[in-house]
Structure formats: C-alpha cells, structure tokens
Amino acid sequence: MTDKFNDRLQKAKFPPIIASDKGVAWLNGGHLWLYRNDLSDSLNGDFQSAWSSGDIVDVFSRKGTYLGSGFYNAAGQIAVRLLSNNRNETFDSAFWLRRLRYAVEYRKQLKLLNAEGACRLIYGEADGFPGLTCDRFNDVLVIEIFSLGIAKIWPELQAQLLQLLREEYSIRIRLVYEKSLGPLRAKEGLETFAGLRYCAAASADKEKELLPVGIVENGINFSVDFVNGQKTGYFLDQRENRLFLQRIAAGKNVLECFTHTGSFALNALKGGAEHVLAVDISTTALNQAKINAALNPALDSRKITWMKADVFNLLTALNEHRTGEDWDKAAALGKFDMILLDPPAFAKTREVKNSAYKGYLNINYQAMRLLPRGGYLVTTSCSHFMPEADFSKMLAEAARMADVKLKLLARKEQAPDHPILLSMPETAYLKTYFLQII
C-alpha cells in the first residue's frame, strides 16, 4: 500500500473496508449493496478486526477513493448496505430523523396520510432505510426488519417516528407490531420475530389490541389482520391498479383468481361488475374476504360467489369442460368476460425462475383460452426474479399458444408509496398488465 492510500484510510470516520474493482463499478452505477465476493480480500486483512456486524463502515476503492458508508454484516452475502456517499454524514439522531421526515412528507404529498388510510411509510433502500418495511394501517404500524443495522437502531427510530407522526402530522399510533419472518432474517444472522414493539395503552388487553384494524382504500372498507395475514397483513402495492380496475369493470362477469382478501373483487363490484366469482385455495383467505365484503353493505354481496379451489385446476377444467361440483358451479355462472390473475410470487429465488415462468405461462394461457374476443385479462407478477422483459415475453408466448392477439390497455407497477430506485432493480418487483383479447 502507498503512503497516500494509508493516509486516506487513516482519515476514515469509520472502520475502512476495501471493495474490488468489480465492487467499485457496481457501487458507482448507483447500487447500494456491496456483496461479499466484491470485497478486495488481498487488501482487507489488516482491517477486518475493526469490522463489527451491524455497525457502520467506510467503503473505499483499491486506490483509496471513498465510495460511501453503510451497515456491515459478516453473516450474509450482502457485506455492506450503503447509507450515504457523503463523507460529512455522522449518522446520528438528526440524520435518521431527517430521513424519516423525508419519507413521511413524501407520503403526505401523495395524500396518503388520511385518518383511516393505509400506506407504506418506509420502503427499505428506496427511502434510505436498508432492509426496513413500515406499513401504516390506521393507528397501527407494522414493521419488517431484514438488516442487522436497522435491527440495532430500531428502538431509536421507533421513538423518533412516533413523535414525528404525532407532533408534525397529528397521527397518533396506538400499536407497533413487528413481523420479521422468513429466510432473509437468517441471512442477516437474525432470528425470526413477531410481536408487539409498542402499545400506547400500558395496561391494555393485548389480545384486544391485536385484533384486525379497519382501513379505507379506494372508498372501500377493509379489515386488516396484521397478526395472521400474509406479510404485513394487506398488500398495499396494488392500490392504484385496483382503482384502475374500477374504470373498466362495469357490466363485466368477472373471474378473480387468487382473491386473497377480496380486494380486487370488491373493487370490481364498486366499478359496476355484474358478478364476480372469487377463487382462492385458502379457507383463511376466503373467510377474510367475506369479512371485508360484509363491511361494505353498499356493494351487493349477492353479486359475489366465493369458491375454494385450485386456480390451475379450475381454469383447465373450464377450458376442457370437465364436470365436478366446483367446475359445474363455475360453469353455471356463464361465460366470463374478465379474468383477474394476481398470484403469489412464483419466483421467490433466482434458482426457480424457469419453473416460475412455466407457472405464469400456464395460468395466462388457460385464461386467454377461456376469454372471448373483446374480453379483458388483468394479470400480475409480484416477483422481482420475473423481470418485466420476461413477463412480457411470457404473455406473448401464451397468446401464441392460445391463438389470440393482445391489446395493451395499461402497463402498471407498484403504488408510488413503494418508490423505485432506477439504479437498484431489486426495488422494482410488481408488474400488472391490463389486456384485451382481440
């Protein structure tokens, strides 16, 4: 090492870590993760004793150029999650409060801070909080933490966020519930955890506090079971897409596949659909969907038929005119002129991408076969590992197999409270296409 290189490292505010040339190019392109195999092993030997998982390090190139500072973790493939490339940052309470204010103020600009509303207040790296999700449902915050650095400072962030919401936005939070589950926790050296983080009523009945909370979205009432529901309890990312559905649903006989909490079904009804057959394989999901329907007496629940069934089998059975109790019940509802496909992520890892492609191809092909000319297909992928180009390619292949042509009405993505960093593809995952069969 040269004296000049050593001098630069001596002036580092935090323990230095040296990136390889490949890592430098990655970070210079705007990405915020430095992977373990992008460290310069030959130059880092003298510094490793100073690195502590969950603490901040300064990242340098092999030439001694400062690249940024971020949380270090020895446990996972992601060695550093960058927080800033400003050498003057101190990462003190004022720094974190400033970032929280930026995030909340942006949601205010989107007009998402209404009293009974719901929105994603913090969306990980896109808001400057790597590995943190924070959803607001009325007076409840539900968080997911998937980085050790955030886990260590969350108590401070929580206190700041609750005070900020209360004093500057007149929003009083009753409950903070953490729901940090799944394999990503283990990759950060963290155990899974679900439980209360904050309760405004010190002597409250905890079971009562953890009951589902009511929200209003697109003029429709929903009950969010944040304890037992998937992820944080409700998928906020499709808000604008469900609203767009209202514009084209009038008079349609709709088949909604993977209804989950019934959100698309109820939006279709609000848009004037004649009838909706809402299908899911989960009894728990269907029960929650029925609860949501009951919360909206202005929507005629007689126009919804709920069915527990496997979507793949149902679509195939309808196309091949198979008989059976469920298939006969679905067929008796007449021809569908709108099909909604909003499946869970088929591709949760890169390794299963090929099989996921086949799954998406199958259900979209079957839906296209079932729809008449002029019918509508609304189809979604929520997997980052199914990129836009592959999803579009899959739809074109399905159309060829079904011998139909597709007219694109709208190509949409996640709601704007899930902002996308253009330099970080991992922040973009949702793709929803509104198509017409011609």
User: What was the pLDDT predicted at 156?
Assistant: 98
50-59, 194-203, 212-221, 358-367: segment of lowest average pLDDT: 194-203
Token pair recorded at residue 389:
């180009």
Alpha-carbon torsion (121, 123, 126, 131), positive or negative: positive
pLDDT at 143 over 80: yes
Instruction: Looking at 371-418, list the stretches that DSSP marks H as alpha helix, in order from N- to C-terminal side.
Output: 388-402
User: What was the pLDDT predicted at 180?
Assistant: 97
Superfamily designation of domain 235-437 = Vaccinia Virus protein VP39 (3.40.50.150)
Token pair recorded at residue 55:
């603490």
pTM of the model: 0.94
Q: What is the mean pLDDT of residues 155-163?
A: 98
Residue 287 corresponds to which amino acid?
N
pLDDT in tens, 269-311: 999 999 999 999 999 999 999 999 999 999 998 999 999 999 9
Q: List the domain boundaries for the chain.
A: 3-84, 93-209, 235-437
- Average pLDDT of every residue of the chain: 93
Residue 436 buriedness (CB in 10 A; 0-12 / 13-18 / 19+): middle
User: What was the pLDDT predicted at 7?
Assistant: 67
Confidence tier at 204 by pLDDT (50, 70, 90): low
Report d(CA 327, CA 323) in Å as an integer. Answer: 6
pLDDT at 347 over 60: no
- The CATH class, in words, for 93-209 is alpha beta
Q: What is the mean pLDDT of residues 324-333?
A: 92
Residue whose C-alpha is closest to residue 253's, from 371, 338, 373, 359? 338
The full DSSP string for 251-298 is T-EEEEES-TTTHHHHHHHHTT-SEEEEEES-HHHHHHHHHHHHT-TT
User: What was the pLDDT predicted at 44?
Assistant: 75
User: What was the pLDDT predicted at 377?
Assistant: 98
User: What was the pLDDT predicted at 206?
Assistant: 76
Q: What is the mean pLDDT of residues 110-139?
A: 96
CA distances from 165 to 202, 360, 379 (A): 20, 41, 36
Confidence tier at 4 by pLDDT (50, 70, 90): low
b/e per residue 245-261 (b: at least 16 CB within 10 A): bbebbeebbbbbbbbbb
User: What was the pLDDT predicted at 351?
Assistant: 62
Beta-bridge partners for 256: 278, 340
Superfamily designation of domain 3-84 = PUA domain (2.30.130.10)
Confidence tier at 222 by pLDDT (50, 70, 90): very high
Token pair recorded at residue 127:
């808001």
User: What was the pLDDT predicted at 2?
Assistant: 60
Do 93-209 and 3-84 have the same topology in CATH?
Answer: no
